[in-house]
Amino acid sequence: MPMLPAPSLPSSLMALLVVFESCFTAPSFRTFCALLAGLVVQTGPRTVCGMLAGAGLARVWAHDRAHRFFAHTRWSPERVGLALARLVVALLVPAQAPITVVIDDTLFRRRGKKVWGASWFHDGSATGKTKTGYGHNWVILAILVRLPFISRPVCLPVLARLVIKNTTSASRLWLATQMVAQLARAFPDRQLDAVADSAFTGRDLRTLPDRVSWTTRPRKDAALYELAPPRTGTRGRPRLKGPRLGSLAALAATETFTPATVVRYQSPSTVQIAKVTCLWYTVFGPREARVIFLREPGTRRGYDLVLITTDTTSDPATLVERYAARWAIEVAIADAKQLFGAGQTHTRTAAAVQRVIPFTLLAQTITVLWYATAGHHPDDLADRRAAAPWYASKSQPSTLDMLIKLRRVLIGPYPIL
């Protein structure tokens, strides 16, 4: 059977995509490259047929080839995601440096009773008091990186798991710990520092290896204990934890706060910080943890922010900055929905539903990687300000600028090969 024609992609992009060649068969890899390019080029709805039309293959390939790629072709989103994670770390994370990952969940709205896995979930962006929406809830893991031409931290999504009600996968925390464990196995000699909000706390965190730290916000009623006392030498099981500590408010009232300078959201400020070493036995088990209290200047409250972490080596100011950088995943999720059309496909079968969102997130991360390694030029900002003069104060490229640059390279002649 003769091979169908494939689009001609620039070598700068193929240098990134070739990493995924081992994840597919040869025909599937050609389809993968075509649909990814089509998703980037497409300015209309990013449906499966929209991707095919964006690649300029709507009259060349049968449309069911694109649908079959998501619904029937044999490839694993987890394997592709781990290959993407290795690429991100190799290109953008300094050698031997800890890998910082951020976890969050979001709802992609869908309609129709026959859409596999769709249900009612919490939706913080919904209007009204109920804050619910119908669709697919995804837990997303992103790697936090620093780009030389952007002052803010950037989150690059690499793994995503679908929340499926009435199954083991109904637990967002379980899905998050599974992805972090996968990433830890992929980087056996690297420290992983995970950051998540207060929704991602529970007993599943006990299963993580010691070289994975977890930073989050504790519940107000968190039962904290002193460290386990030394063995007494007498018969019987040694104590697993010391006496119970007071509430968070009581602890903050008795601790000594010291000034520290932290940089949050690109703005330095001087705050008051206190730390308490303890056990959160119901969540972290016997693993030592630290509670970080933060007071803003001029506050009269006991604390304005409280964190708990199993990272006992980093200083408190670094931990506060790490948690503040968690906001980058909110920006990444908004970009995925608004710029890359995540959630716009009309897929309904189980395999297609579980593949299309990871594929879209991969296209987003590849776009940023391409721009960081081959697409960035100092004149990009001047070109953007000339095209949009109302952005006169624009000093750094946005994700939209990166997407437009790659789109122009794919559509027509451009001085990048």
Q: Kindly state whether residues 220 and 302 are assigned to the same domain.
A: yes
End-of-domain residue from the set 291, 312, 333: 312
Q: What is the model's pLDDT at position 413?
A: 54
Q: What is the model's pLDDT at position 249?
A: 93
Q: What is the model's pLDDT at position 6?
A: 45
CB 78 within 8 A of CB 185: no
Number of structural domains (the chain) is 2
Confidence category of residue 395, pLDDT binned at 50, 70, 90: confident
CB 410 within 8 A of CB 38: no
Percent of the chain with pLDDT over 70: 97
What is the arithmetic mean of pLDDT over 369-393?
A: 87
Instruction: Give the tens place of pLDDT for each residue, 11-70.
Output: 999 999 999 999 999 999 999 999 999 999 999 999 999 999 999 898 889 999 999 999
SS3 state at 271: strand
Tokens 């994370």 locate to 93
Six-digit token string for 320? 């506060």
Identify whether 274 is part of a domain.
Answer: yes
Q: Please tell me the distance from the alpha carbon of residue 88 to that of residue 80, in angstroms, as a whole number.
A: 12
Q: Kindly state whether residues 287 and 371 are assigned to the same domain.
A: no
Q: What is the model's pLDDT at position 234?
A: 82
End-of-domain residue from the set 312, 342, 360: 312
Tokens 């006392």 locate to 229
Identify whether 295 is part of a domain.
Answer: yes
Q: Residue 331: which residues within 8 A CB-CB, separation 6 or more?
A: 155
Instruction: Give the tens place of pLDDT for each residue, 273-323.
Output: 999 999 999 999 999 999 999 999 888 788 999 999 999 999 999 999 999
Identify whether 144 is part of a domain.
Answer: no
Identify whether 18 is part of a domain.
Answer: yes
Q: What is the model's pLDDT at position 5?
A: 41
The letter for the amino acid at 145 is V
Lowest mean pLDDT across 181-185, 387-391, 404-408: 387-391
CB 115 within 8 A of CB 393: no
Instruction: Give the tens place of pLDDT for each residue, 274-288.
Output: 999 999 999 999 999
SS3 state at 159: strand
Q: What is the model's pLDDT at position 78?
A: 97
Q: What angle do CA 296, 333, 30 make, to 5 degrees?
A: 150
Q: What is the model's pLDDT at position 101?
A: 98
Residue 416 has pLDDT above 90, yes or no: no
266 compared with 316, residue with greater pLDDT: 316
User: 3-state secondary structure string, 202-259?
Assistant: CHHHHHCCCCEEEEECCCCCCCCECCCCCCCCCCCCCCCCCCECCCHHHHHHHCCCEE
Give strand pairing partners of 214: 194
Instruction: Give the tens place of pLDDT for each residue, 336-372.
Output: 999 999 999 999 999 999 999 999 999 999 999 999 9
Identify whether 259 is part of a domain.
Answer: yes
Q: Kindly state whether residues 227 and 275 are assigned to the same domain.
A: yes
Question: Which of 393, 395, 392, 414 is CA-nearest to residue 405?
Answer: 414
Q: Which helix (H) or strand (E) holds 294?
A: strand 289-295
What is the arithmetic mean of pLDDT over 105-111?
A: 93
396 compared with 417, residue with greater pLDDT: 396
Report CA torsion sign: 34, 335, 151, 306: negative
Confidence category of residue 417, pLDDT binned at 50, 70, 90: very low
Q: What is the DSSP letter of 279?
A: B
Kindly report the average pLDDT of the chain as a whole number. Answer: 92
Residue 298's domain comprises 215-231+239-312
Phi/psi class of residue 112: alpha, beta or left (left: φ > 0; alpha: ψ in -120 to 50)? left
Q: Residue 128: which residues within 8 A CB-CB, separation 6 or more?
A: none
Instruction: Give the tens place of pLDDT for each residue, 70-95.
Output: 999 999 999 999 999 999 999 999 99
Q: Please tell me the distance from the alpha carbon of residue 285 to that of residue 208, in angstroms, as a whole number.
A: 11
Query: How big is the chain by its Cα radius of gyration, in Å?
Result: 24
End-of-domain residue from the set 258, 291, 312: 312
Q: What is the pTM of this model?
A: 0.93
